[in-house]
């Protein structure tokens, strides 16, 4: 089990240590950061009120194991985007934490914020993340072909989304 807590300056050092390559930074953070991630970038990140930024804590060990962000909140259109989703250490992946994180963020989005639509972007090569998002109700709605260049290689990004009625169906069937 996990809990979400506010991401603060106290988490910067650990966060920076997780982002060890430019490719991983883009996979995790998109174009928000430049490599290497700095304290100044993170100060700007947490100062931006358009983000709800969380650290992910394993409740059994009280260890911070990841990160998640609800951003691009659009009150008029009742939409938001999940960004910077991460279970940081390899040994903590494929253990259900990612699914718990997505479900916790969706509960905030559809419960607390009463949104209609939530979307996210994921690199086409990140098959484990795509499976996780699909298991949480997201659907691929399009692909931005070769839209990111990292170290002279082009990468495609899927846009995925879930609507409030789809989320409601999932929560009543569980």
Tens of pLDDT, residues 115-134: 999 999 999 999 999 999 99
Is a pLDDT exceeding 70 seen at residue 97? yes
CB under 8 Å to 69, separation ≥6 — which residues? Answer: 51, 52, 53, 54, 82, 83, 84, 85
Q: What is the band of 75 on the pLDDT scale with cuts at 50, 70, 90?
A: very high
Per-residue pLDDT tens over the stretch 6-44: 999 999 999 999 999 998 998 888 889 999 999 999 999
At 174, is the pLDDT very low, low, confident or very high (cuts 50, 70, 90)? Answer: low
Q: Which residue has the tokens 């914020």?
A: 113
- Domains of the chain (ranges, CATH numbers): 2-173 (3.40.630.30)
Residue 173 has pLDDT above 90, yes or no: no
**131-166: pLDDT as tens digits:** 999 999 999 999 999 999 988 999 999 999 999 999
Q: Count CA within 13 A, CB hemisphere, residue 174.
A: 10
Task: Give the C-alpha separation, 113 to 136, whole Å.
Answer: 18
Distances (CA, A) of 153 to 31, 146, 168: 15, 9, 39
**Does residue 60 surpass a pLDDT of 80?**
yes
CA distance 156 to 69: 22
Residue 170: name the closest of 124, 102, 95 by CA: 102
Going by C-alpha positions, the residue among 121, 33, 140 that lies closest to residue 72 is 121
Average pLDDT of the segment spanning 99-117: 98
What pTM was estimated for this model as a whole? 0.95
Spatial distance between the Cα atoms of 37 and 118, rounded to a whole number of angstroms = 27
pLDDT band at 80 (very low <50, low <70, confident <90, very high): very high
């Amino acid at each position: 089990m996990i809990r979400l807590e506010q991401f603060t300056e106290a988490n910067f050092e650990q966060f920076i240590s997780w982002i060890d390559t430019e490719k991983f930074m883009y996979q995790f953070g998109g174009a928000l950061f430049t490599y290497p991630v700095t304290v100044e970038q993170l100060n700007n990140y947490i100062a931006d009120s358009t983000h709800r930024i969380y650290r992910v804590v394993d409740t059994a060990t009280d260890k911070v194991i990841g990160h998640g962000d609800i951003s691009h909140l659009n009150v008029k259109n009742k939409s938001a985007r999940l960004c910077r989703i991460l279970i940081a250490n390899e040994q903590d992946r494929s253990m259900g934490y990612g699914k718990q994180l997505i479900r916790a963020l969706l509960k905030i989005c559809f419960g607390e914020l009463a949104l209609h639509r939530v979307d996210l972007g994921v690199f086409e090569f990140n098959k484990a993340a795509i499976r996780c998002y699909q298991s949480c109700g997201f659907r691929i709605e399009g692909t931005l072909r070769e839209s990111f260049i990292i170290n002279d290689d082009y990468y495609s990004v899927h846009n995925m989304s879930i609507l409030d009625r789809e989320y409601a169906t999932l929560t009543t069937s569980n």
